Structure 1
Amino acid sequence: IEVDPSKIAAVQNWSAPKNPSEVRSFVGLAGYYRRFIEGFSKIALPLSQLTRKSVKFEWTDRCKSSFQELKRRLTTAPVLTIPDPSRSFTIYSDASSQLIREFARMRIQVIDALSTASTGSVNSMQVQPTMRERIRQEMASDEFIRTIDAKVRAGGVEDFHQGTDGALEFRGRIVVPKVEALRKEILSEANTAPYLAHPGSIKMYHDLKWSFWWRGLKKDVADFVRRCLTCQQVKAEHKSPIGLLRPLPILRWKWEEVAMDFVTGLPRSSEHHDAIWVV
């Protein structure tokens, strides 16, 4: 796969950033295509560090090298596309004791990408951080992560290390801080994404543990699936499927039957109540 030189001139002529805002714009563009750039995090690290509030902006040789290398990768990297079954394929495999990857490569027409750059105001544009970046940003709020991270910096802790972007990892998996909204989003994506379709607690746990780690992950997955009505209505091994809710029969006389229910998980009131008992 080749890139048409006339289509990528906007990237090739991109001038060096002069402030953190311009660095974010470039890294945001490059990050959109990170799946096509091997070792993206390591290459972009000098630029990513310039976007931190605590770091003084200084355009060093490392930053210049990172900037030029990303431009080169963006304008020469192959672009993935839907395969054409009428063409021939060559399969390349990469195997190890931990994982097996494979991808198909074939000759296709030149892809039109990165053809233009905005010449007007881009104040309304926002660069959304990736899930990994969001996790890394929230790590400082977790006391356990701060403790382990300090030990890693001091000399290392077995099974824990820092990734190329500074995020704490456990055996190659990013450590997710104890932030309820963040963990819930990860669990929800692993359970309800269209390409996963409620896989069940066992498969969902095995899918997540390849990329994420936190203490109690397996239990949190089981609890999440147990609360999912769709998952409970699908027949699981050693368990009958849950039935649909059915109304009670119409009573012939008052107080012939008494029913009660609980509504839990509500915001705590001024009197420290977070549930309702309905009779």
Structure 2
Amino acid sequence: MSVLYHPRKENVVVDALSGLSTGSVAHIEEEKKELVRDVHRLVRLGVQLVDSTKGGFMVHNGSESCFVVDVNQSKDTAGFVAKCLNCQQVKVEHQKLGGFSQDISIPTWKWEYSNMDFIVGLPRTRQQHYSIWVIVDRMTKLAHFLRIKVSYSMEDYS
């Protein structure tokens, strides 16, 4: 038994038969042919068309949005949206607002605003320091890293 390889351009018959058929528009009324062509374009783009029980189509692209081709299908639309996870996630009440909820104050002088943090649980140094105190100036973005002991008092930190 041997397997014969045919390049794609020579394998025309198999390619034509294995393609997905979207039907013919020859039997469609002249007024509706453009609508059928639009539906075929949507299918080629990977959009899911869900047949409505009352004669319309609900169009769903699987990622962000869905809409109804026939506007009179409100009951079917509500049921479809209720079952569709993507449609639920894009609702306004489920989305987080972008950006900050408060204005960021811009410092006008060095060390006017600074951030501090402690890094603890590090291996001990020869001087028995096992933590780092990080102080960052927001204006100059200058950072200081001070080795400390957690047992220091407030006076020791100052």
**Interval of TM-score (by shorter of Structure 1 and Structure 2):** under 0.3
Higher strand share: 2
TM-score of the aligned structures, taking structure 2 as reference length: 0.24
Greater Rg over alpha carbons, structure? 2
Q: Which has the higher contact order (CA 8 A, sep 6+)?
A: 1
Higher helix share: 1
TM-score of the aligned structures, taking structure 1 as reference length: 0.16
